[in-house]
Structures are given as C-alpha cells and as structure tokens.
Structure 1
Amino acid sequence: MLEINKGVGQPVELVGIKGTYLLLIIAIVVGGLLLALLLYWLRANTYLISFASLGVMGVGLWYCLHMSKKYGLHGIAKQEADRSQPKAILINSTKSFAQLRRETQRSIPRKGSATAGRRG
C-alpha cells in the first residue's frame, strides 16, 4: 500500500524541471503564444509567426534547462542574491570607524577599585 503523503516536503518536479524553473518555463511558453497572437493580429507572414514564436520558446526552454542543470533548484535565487551584492565598498572617511571604536572601547578599571587589589 502506498503512503498518502509520499511527496510532502519535496519540490515540484515535471520531467526533471524543478521548482522555480517550472514557473519560468510556463511563463516562456505563454509569452511565446502571446507573441504569435500579436504577430497574427499584425498580419505577419505565417512562417514568420511560426519561426519567431517557436524560436523564442525553444531558446527560453533551453536556457531554463541549462540553468537548472548548472545551478540546481535554488539557482535563480542565488543569482539574484549575487546581483544584489555591491561590487566594492568605498570608504572616503575614517570618521565612522573612529566613532565605532570610541563606542566599543572597554572601560579600564581604576587602580583603587575593589577588583584591582584582589588576589585569587
């Protein structure tokens, strides 16, 4: 007998395409169909419509499969995180470091305090 909740906690997968890539492929296919519809309304040649829409969908599907194999399930999120990182941090002044140092300095106990003469 099969368990009812066999796939709980697993990513959505269809023909080896997982998670976010599946949504991206659906968006690419819908975009290709909308491109074909737009070209049809503009009275373009049927062969042009076919090659353009199938070309866009084919390149998009190839790109998604390539990304899925190269970066894995969370590759899109990793790339977005990589893009949001700054290339370099430029610091023109040392004032902020001096202020930070003043705020984090330990207070040195005085010679006459209660802990200074204690021996253990």
Structure 2
Amino acid sequence: MKILLVDDDSVHLLILRKIFEKSNEEVVVAHNGLEALEYLETDPFFNVILTDIMMPVMDGVEFLNHLKESPQTSQIPTIGFTAGDVEYFREKSKNRFDSLVSKPMDFYDLYSLAKSKASLNYI
C-alpha cells in the first residue's frame, strides 16, 4: 500500500510514518497541501491520503478541492483529521472527505481506517 501523509506537525508525521512502515507500507510525507499536490503531479498512484485540515501554505480543505478536481487523483480515498470542529469542516469540504476524524486521535485507529479505505483502491 502506498500512503501520502500530509501534516505540518512533525510528531504526528513521525508516529504515523513509523506505524505504516512497520507494516512495510510505502509512505510519502508532505508538510502542507501545496507540497502534497507537487508530489501528486509526478506520482498520482497512492492508495490513500491522510491529511491534516489546519496547515500553513495550503490547508487540507483547499488541498482536497484540488485533489477532487483532477481526474488523476479524484478517486484516491482521502481521510482528513482536525483539532477543530469536524462538522464545520465536513460542511466546508462539501462532505468530500471519505472520512473525517477529530484530534486527538488514536493513531492505530487511523491506521486501520486508512487500511480499510485503501483496500477499496488498490492500484
């Protein structure tokens, strides 16, 4: 499985990366939505994307909008996570996230959710 992790929090990235790599998953890390889009321009073949919502440069909702507009990336399951109001971001994103979870989160639950979403999208 190939995962794109998008978060500006280095601790979250480290923990999630370790959890996925422990299962021999391929992990690519981006620190904001713009950086993630740059990765996707050269390699759109991810099984799942996990993204924080509140980030500098380009937040997770704006990133999601760009992601869903592109025919190459629109079908990639996308899981958002936020310390903010989940319902607010669900409305703001027009409910386009495949899942939206609140922080603090159990990283292993997030891992399981990503695995289940990705299993529907193996390339």
Per the shorter chain, which TM-score range? Answer: under 0.3
TM-score normalised by length of structure 2 = 0.23
In terms of fraction of residues, the more helix-rich structure is 1
In terms of fraction of residues, the more strand-rich structure is 2
Structure ID, larger Rg: 1
TM-score normalised by length of structure 1 = 0.23
